């Protein structure tokens, strides 16, 4: 993947003479000392990052850590005091007004924590706004806006006003409004923090859905570790205006850079970070539906297992056959299809472990993991789910022999 | 012993000289204003008097109905009819013409000034004490330079009314523009709005309900100046009150007075209704 955005030593200091403060930060004075002594607030100091094209890049930190200040640097709502920001290899800090306006109109759109909707405009007019100020013709912008309103599931609400909609719906409008401009980059400043947990979950999934369809580069701010790790391809952790660690969720959990991060992720539920594909094992025995019962029995005997998945030629799962059924079937001259049990619990490879636990408890066979094309990708022994995400430590044969 | 020492300053003289200076050096300017303002008052007055009485009453009923309720509209119609029965129809029209002219002038000056104050803190700091002085200086005091500049008559009345009634619309415009939600401003910026687009499409519409409250206040204050302004020769209902004081005519005083009250109620409710209409979609959205 190519780099879409590159931040080099970006600092943002608020106050009457921000540039004079940089040397003080360099000398290692803390935020509080500087605030007390000079009445300047250090928002962000020396942040360097790369954001790749098409990834969901999460910036996580507690309140006051500078994450909202940093995201506003990406579209120069905050002009950095020092450092450079490259978008598609152009330094946007050096842009003049015309170029900046063009960039905001065409390349970068933002979604806000409290939605930032225009309460005097209808939903349609809100979504049209970005196009309106670009002087897109009335018919065209209406068409684009309607398409986007529909894609966030708000068809029929276009003539309502924001005040008449629930929080979740308002944020959908915010999202539709940002997407209507067809930006490359979507900045999302704690977009779901103001929503209640159920709606938040739904919106996260929807956002990932949209991301998969449209492949935008998304910068996402959150203070919620679980949210960050659930949706982020990569996560940057901020503390007191500085970026302390950047990595994938797995990397950060496996090797936190310092105690601050360990403390931060202490409460994280690992089962909500790891997905089925992280704990599944490749099936070393598989039977094709054409193979017949004798092959199935042979496969099970050779691998020392008590049941085996049956697939068709396209590796689509047909069911499972147990050793007892197979032996009995041979005696009674039945075919493989006759003794096949179709009631296998199937899970997607990107399902979180936390969602697998109840399924594993209910099922009497291993869980079958399928990929996006519905082909069998692997299997998860129930004991793997329940003994906590460590496939290497469990002897595979235990359950099969049981 | 404790008497104030014998020191005098002649601040009043300076004020006098300043006014005289303005009067001589800006004569042409004042004449132009006089011409425009008196023309405007006359056009409005002539139009209102030309209007058949029942058309005016129906118009008031419809306005009341649209902005408040049918009952309010009917009540307003009765009020206007009563004023007519007092024999004060023409005076009422003159008063309305003066108020409309004063309020329009207030808006033309006040809204841009308020916007500038919202954009520029320095300008706001300078203007704020001046606005305070304009509001607290006894209103009779403006009448003197008003006569100097514009002579006796309606134009002087407008000038005095302007000074008294201008501050609320300026203050509330500034407050309203400053009070627009920060995230709303940021989101408009993030789409690449120009400054003018921001003002016209976002800030002004967002600020409108508060600005309308300012318009309401300004209108009520203009009405409150009606009687005082008649001391410099403004005609209309205020003149009738003044006449009744001179003659100690209780009947005329009461009729003219209650007419002003009726007008005040009608204008207040209608401008309030306009503000409410703008307010309708606000609240949960922000």
- Of residues A101, A109, A119, nearest to B285 (C-beta): A119
Question: Chain B neighbours among A 14-33 (CB < 8 Å)?
Answer: none
Do the Cβ atoms of A109 and B286 come within 8 Å? no
Token pair for A244: 């302390």
Confidence at residue B224, expressed as pLDDT on a 0 to 100 scale? 86
Could you say which architecture CATH assigns to the domain A3-107+183-268? Answer: 3-Layer(aba) Sandwich (3.40)
Architecture of domain A277-401: Roll (3.10)
Is pLDDT of B80 > 70? yes
- Sheet containing strand A217-222, strands side by side: A108-111, A185-189, A217-222, A56-60, A234-239, A242-247
pLDDT at B1: 65
Contact criterion met (CB < 8 Å) for B192 and A133: yes
pLDDT reported for residue B250: 92
Cβ pair A181, A147 in contact under 8 A:
no
Whether B208 sits inside 8 A of A120 (CB atoms) is yes
Does A161 reach chain B within 8 Å, measured CB to CB?
A: yes
Instruction: Please tell me what DSSP assigns to residue B159.
Output: H
pLDDT at B284 over 60: no
* Chain A residues inside the 8 Å CB shell of B189: 77, 104
CB contact under 8 A, B190 and A101: no
Task: Give the A:B interface size as CB pairs under 8 Å.
Answer: 91
Query: How many angstroms separate the CA atoms of A326 and A84, rounded?
Result: 68
Specify the length of chain B in residues.
Answer: 286
Element (H, E) at A50: strand A41-52
Contact B281 A101 (CB under 8 A): no
Looking at residue B189, its pLDDT comes to: 93
For residue B10, with 0-12 CB atoms within 10 Å meaning exposed, 13-18 middle and 19 or more buried, which class applies?
A: exposed
- How far apart, in whole angstroms, are the C-alpha atoms of residue A41 and residue A87? 26
Structural tokens at position A158: 């276009």
> How many helices and strands (H and E) does chain A possess?
18, 16
Picking from A102, A113, A164, the nearest residue to B192 by CB comes out as: A102
| Residue B201: DSSP 8-state | I
Give B205's contacts in chain A (Cβ within 8 Å). 118, 120-121
Q: For B150-176, how does the pLDDT look when each residue is reduced to its tens digit (9 = 90+)?
A: 888 888 888 888 888 999 999 999 999
Task: Provide the shortest C-alpha distance from residue B215 to chain A (in Å).
Answer: 19
pLDDT of B79 over the 80 cut: yes
List the domain boundaries for chain A.
Answer: 3-107+183-268, 277-401
Q: How many CA atoms lie within 13 A of B160 on its CB side?
A: 32
- The minimum CA-CA distance between A108 and chain B, rounded to whole Å, is 8
The long-range contacts involving A322-326, CB below 8 angstroms and separated by at least 24 positions, are: A323/A297, A326/A293, A326/A296, A326/A297, A326/A300
pLDDT (0 to 100) of residue A256 = 85
B281/A120 CB distance under 8 A: yes
**CB-CB neighbours of B9 under 10 Å:** 7
Nearest chain B residue (CA) to A174: B187
Sorted by where each starts, the structural domains of chain B and their CATH numbers stand as 15-279 (1.10.3720.10)
Closest chain B residue by Cα to residue A180: B191
pLDDT of residue A20: 87
Chain B hits for A121, Cβ within 8 Å: 205
- Residue B247 burial class via C-beta count within 10 angstroms: exposed 0-12, middle 13-18, buried 19 and up: exposed
* Pairing of β A41-52 and β A185-189: unpaired
Residue A133 and residue B189: Cβ atoms within 8 Å? no
| Closest B-chain CA to A115 | B183
Question: What mean pLDDT is reported for chain B?
Answer: 89
Name the phi and psi angles at B170, rounded to 5. Answer: -65, -50
Give B190's contacts in chain A (Cβ within 8 Å).
75, 77, 104, 108-110, 187
Residues in chain A, total: 402
Q: What is the pTM of this model?
A: 0.74
Q: pLDDT category, B280, cuts 50, 70, 90?
A: low
Cross-sheet strand order for the sheet of A287-288: A287-288, A307-311, A317-322
Using a CB–CB cutoff of 8 Å, tell me whether A170 touches chain B: yes
Q: Which H/E stretch holds residue B42?
A: helix B27-50
All residues of chain B having their beta carbon less than 8 Å from the beta carbon of residue A119 are 184, 206, 281-283, 285-286
List CB contacts (< 8 A) between B206 and chain A: 118-120
Report yes or no: A99 at the B interface, CB cutoff 8 Å.
no
Q: Collect all residues of chain A within an 8 Å Cβ-Cβ radius of residue B181.
A: 114, 116
Distance from CA of A52 to the nearest CA of B (A): 22
Q: What is the pLDDT of residue B174?
A: 94
* Centroid of chain to Cα A78: 26
Look at B202 and A118 and tell me if their CB atoms are within 8 Å.
yes
Q: Is the dihedral of CA A361, A362, A366, A368 positive or negative?
A: negative
Q: Which of B192, B283, B286 is facing A104, going by the closest CB pair? A: B192
Choose the mutation target among A68, A92, A98, A116 for the interface with B, i.e. most B CBs under 10 Å: A116
Residue B279 has pLDDT above 90, yes or no: no
Interhelix angle B27-50/B154-178, rounded to 10 degrees, is: 90
Mean pLDDT calculated for residue range B242-258: 92
What's residue A291's pLDDT?
A: 81
- Measured CA to CA, the distance from residue A316 to residue A374 in angstroms comes to 6
- Encode pLDDT of A187-197 as tens digits: 999 999 888 88
Q: Is the ipTM of this complex over 0.85?
A: no
- Residue numbers of chain A with a pLDDT score lower than 70: 1, 269, 386-402
Contact B184 A108 (CB under 8 A): no
The pLDDT assigned to A386 comes to 65
């Amino acid at each position: 993947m190519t780099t879409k955005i590159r931040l080099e030593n970006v600092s943002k200091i608020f106050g009457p003479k921000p540039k004079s403060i940089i040397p003080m930060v360099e000398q290692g004075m803390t935020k509080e000392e500087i605030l007390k002594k000079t009445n300047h607030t250090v928002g962000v100091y020396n942040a360097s990052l790369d954001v790749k094209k098409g990834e969901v890049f999460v910036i996580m930190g507690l309140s006051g850590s500078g994450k909202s200040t940093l995201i506003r640097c990406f579209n120069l709502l905050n002009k950095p005091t020092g450092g450079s920001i490259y978008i598609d290899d152009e330094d946007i800090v050096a842009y003049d007004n015309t170029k900046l306006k063009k960039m905001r109109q065409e390349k970068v759109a933002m979604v806000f924590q409290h939605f930032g909707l225009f309460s005097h405009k209808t939903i349609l007019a809100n979504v049209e706004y970005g196009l309106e100020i670009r002087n897109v013709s009335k018919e065209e912008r209406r068409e684009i806006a309607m398409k986007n309103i529909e894609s966030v599931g708000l068809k029929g609400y276009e003539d309502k006003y924001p005040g008449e909609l629930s929080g979740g719906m308002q944020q959908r409008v915010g999202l539709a409004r940002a997407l209507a401009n067809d930006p490359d980059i979507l900045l999302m400043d704690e977009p779901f923090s103001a929503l209640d947990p159920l709606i938040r979950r739904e919106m996260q999934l929807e956002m990932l859905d949209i991301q998969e369809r449209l492949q935008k580069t998304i910068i996402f701010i959150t203070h919620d570790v679980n949210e960050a790790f659930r949706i982020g391809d990569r996560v940057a952790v901020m503390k007191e205006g500085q970026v302390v660690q950047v990595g994938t969720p797995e990397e950060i959990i496996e090797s936190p850079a310092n105690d601050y991060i360990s403390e931060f992720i202490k409460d994280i539920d690992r089962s909500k970070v790891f997905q089925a594909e992280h704990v599944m094992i490749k099936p070393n025995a598989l039977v094709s539906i054409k193979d017949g019962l004798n092959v199935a029995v042979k496969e099970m005997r050779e691998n020392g297992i008590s049941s085996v998945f049956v697939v068709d030629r396209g590796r689509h799962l047909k069911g499972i056959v147990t050793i007892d059924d197979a032996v009995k079937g041979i005696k009674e001259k039945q075919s493989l299809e006759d003794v096949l049990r179709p009631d296998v619990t199937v899970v997607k490879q990107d399902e979180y472990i936390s969602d697998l636990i109840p399924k594993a408890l209910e099922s009497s066979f291993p869980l079958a993991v399928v990929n996006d094309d519905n082909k069998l990708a692997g299997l998860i022994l129930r004991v793997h789910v329940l003994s906590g995400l460590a496939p290497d430590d469990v002897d595979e044969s235990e359950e099969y022999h049981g | 012993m404790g008497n104030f020492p014998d020191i005098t300053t002649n601040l009043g003289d300076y004020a006098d000289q300043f006014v005289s200076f303005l009067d001589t050096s800006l004569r042409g300017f004042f004449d132009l204003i006089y011409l425009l303002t008196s023309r405007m008052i006359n056009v409005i007055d002539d139009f209102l008097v030309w209007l058949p009485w029942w058309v005016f009453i129906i118009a008031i009923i419809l306005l009341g109905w649209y902005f408040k309720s049918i009952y309010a509209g009917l009540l307003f119609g009765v009020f206007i009819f009563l004023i007519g029965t007092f024999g004060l129809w023409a005076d009422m029209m003159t008063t309305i013409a003066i108020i409309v002219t004063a309020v329009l002038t207030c808006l033309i000056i006040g809204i841009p000034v308020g916007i500038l104050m919202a954009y520029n803190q320095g300008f706001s700091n300078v203007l704020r004490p001046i606005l305070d002085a304009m509001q607290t200086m006894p209103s009779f005091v403006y009448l003197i330079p008003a006569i100097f500049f514009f002579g006796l008559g309606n134009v002087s009345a407008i000038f005095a009314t302007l000074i008294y009634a201008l501050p609320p619309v300026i203050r509330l415009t500034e407050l309203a523009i400053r009070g627009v939600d920060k995230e709303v401003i940021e989101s408009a910026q993030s789409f690449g709005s120009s400054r003018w687009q921001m003002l016209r499409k976002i800030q002004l519409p967002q600020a409108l309900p508060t600005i309308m409250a300012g318009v309401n206040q300004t209108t009520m204050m203009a009405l409150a100046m009606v009687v005082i302004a008649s001391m410099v020769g403004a005609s209309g209902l205020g003149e009738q009150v003044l006449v009744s004081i001179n003659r100690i005519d209780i009947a005329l005083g009461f009729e003219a007075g209650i007419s002003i009250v009726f007008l005040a109620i009608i204008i207040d409710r209608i401008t309030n209704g306009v503000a409410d209409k703008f307010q309708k979609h606000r609240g949960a959205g922000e």
